[in-house]
């Protein structure tokens, strides 16, 4: 009987995962993430210039109110902006103020895995980093929103890689700068060479990561689906086999100990987060950490000469980023430390405000899940109103 216990546990988890997977499609999950809190929702498909099909989640606003595009970070998705619920999540706080809220999902995450020609099972599908997200995904979202609303300029809120993507787009395709009324970047992952998280050390093991990906023919990290490690963790937590404190201890190992997550929503967070990414996204961050630079993907000396004309990848031309930018950062962030955001601020030509969060333990995921994050969100939403008023006065 004792020997059969592990088999029973595995069967229980397998059945649970199968039931959850069959019950809800990605579209169902996105709709439910909004409607369960009493808000209307629309799902929009957007195709990028290089064929990736993305899903935008829209919470329609009041007539005449400006659109706000909110973009997640690495391994995240639009669901993270809704999981804390009404009065607590930035998407609903902005919606309550009448804004036309759009939540992005970048290529490769659970909700944006379609392509016009490729399957997510193909190696070619995963050959992208945050560079392509900034060069193609974000512009496609911006163009779609502007063509489907009455507003020429939109507001933007980006966390971590969501900030990275904006800086790539605004520096490489500078015509997009004028399409933003305001830009709010939360812990933007550009310069990260002061990072101390163990995850960064993992990302710098470039040769090992690439070799592992090639041997396993798996270029996705943190993906979801039947049999995935993250779905097993979620199922284990849901059934009580994996204790909450064990999960939090593992999270704190990477982001720094801060008992700030509302435990009542932890299960909902684990249901969809992490949402998957390409190994090349992680590798690109690792390269920038080692290079102490915010630069394009390093393909090696020969590959760089072929692509860039130089052996070393060029830095992103941040002097082209002329949109009005507000930066939010904290001393407790071990992924995007305060000194790195300060360096970014010195290199950007139009930083209109910097907000340094005073809580010493405020870490990289507190922007999403801290029980008091709604206070920061209200500050951000209030600044949208101020920026709109200033623009109308000009």
Q: What's the pLDDT band for 394 if we cut at 50, 70, 90?
A: very low
What is d(CA 116, CA 178) in angstroms, rounded to the nearest whole number? 30
φ, ψ for residue 225 (rounded to 5)?
Answer: 135, 165
Is the distance from CB of 188 to CB of 341 less than 8 angstroms? yes
Is the distance from CB of 84 to CB of 262 less than 8 angstroms? yes
What is d(CA 99, CA 385) in angstroms, rounded to the nearest whole number? 10
Q: What's the pLDDT band for 7 if we cut at 50, 70, 90?
A: very low
pLDDT at 391: 54
Phi-psi region of 139 (alpha: psi -120 to 50; beta: other; left: phi over 0): alpha
Q: Which two tokens stand for residue 219?
A: 């270029």
Rounded mean pLDDT, 56-64: 95
- The set of catalytic residues is 160, 364
Of 265, 276, 195, 200, nearest in space to 237 by CA: 265
Beta strands in the chain (DSSP E): 42-47, 52-59, 67-71, 100-103, 114-115, 154-159, 180-186, 220-221, 277-278, 325-330, 351-357
Domains of the chain and CATH, by start: 25-383 (3.40.50.1820)
How many alpha carbons lie under 13 Å from residue 313 in its C-beta half-sphere? Answer: 18
Inform me whether the pLDDT recorded for 24 exceeds 90. Answer: no
The CA-based angle 383-384-390, given to 5 degrees, is 85
Is the distance from CB of 66 to CB of 99 less than 8 angstroms? yes
For residues 49 and 228, which has the higher predicted lDDT (pLDDT)?
Answer: 49
What is d(CA 226, CA 218) in angstroms, rounded to the nearest whole number? 15
pLDDT digits (tens, 9 = 90+) for 185-236: 999 999 999 999 999 888 888 788 878 888 878 899 999 988 899 999 999 9
pLDDT digits (tens, 9 = 90+) for 379-389: 999 999 776 54
């Amino acid at each position: 009987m004792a020997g059969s216990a592990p088999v029973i546990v595995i069967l229980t988890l397998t059945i649970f995962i199968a039931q959850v997977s069959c019950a809800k499609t990605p579209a169902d999950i996105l709709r439910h993430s909004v409607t369960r809190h009493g808000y209307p929702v629309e799902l929009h498909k957007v195709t990028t210039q290089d064929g990736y099909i993305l899903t935008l989640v829209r919470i329609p606003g009041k007539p005449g109110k400006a659109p706000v595009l909110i973009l997640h970070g690495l391994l995240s998705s639009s669901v993270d902006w809704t999981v804390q619920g009404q009065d607590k999540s930035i998407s609903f706080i902005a919606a309550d103020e009448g804004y036309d809220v759009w939540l992005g999902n970048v290529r490769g995450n659970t909700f944006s895995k379609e392509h016009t020609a490729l399957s997510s099972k193909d190696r070619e599908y995963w050959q992208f980093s945050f560079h392509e997200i900034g060069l193609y995904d974000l512009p496609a979202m911006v163009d779609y929103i502007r063509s489907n609303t009455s507003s020429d300029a939109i507001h933007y809120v980006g966390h971590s890689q969501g900030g990275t993507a904006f800086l790539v787009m605004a520096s490489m395709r500078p015509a997009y700068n004028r399409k933003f009324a305001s830009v709010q970047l939360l812990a933007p992952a550009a310069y990260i060479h002061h990072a101390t998280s163990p995850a960064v050390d993992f990302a710098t093991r470039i040769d090992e990561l690439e070799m592992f990906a090639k041997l396993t023919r798996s270029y996705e990290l943190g993906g979801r689906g039947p049999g995935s490690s993250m779905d097993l963790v979620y199922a284990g937590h849901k059934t009580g086999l994996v204790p909450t404190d064990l999960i939090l201890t593992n999270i704190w190992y990477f982001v720094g100990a801060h008992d700030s997550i509302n435990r009542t929503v932890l299960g909902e967070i684990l249901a969809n987060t992490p949402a998957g990414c390409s190994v090349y996204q992680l590798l690109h961050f690792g390269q920038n950490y080692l290079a102490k630079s915010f630069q394009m993907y390093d393909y090696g000396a020969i590959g760089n000469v072929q692509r860039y004309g130089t052996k070393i990848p060029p830095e992103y031309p941040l002097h082209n980023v002329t949109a009005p930018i507000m930066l939010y950062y904290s001393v407790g962030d071990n992924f995007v430390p305060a000194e790195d955001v300060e360096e970014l601020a010195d290199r950007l030509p139009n930083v209109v405000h910097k907000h340094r969060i005073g809580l010493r333990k405020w870490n990289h995921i507190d922007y999403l899940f801290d029980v008091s994050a709604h206070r920061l969100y209200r500050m951000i939403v209030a600044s949208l109103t101020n920026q709109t008023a200033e623009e109308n006065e000009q």
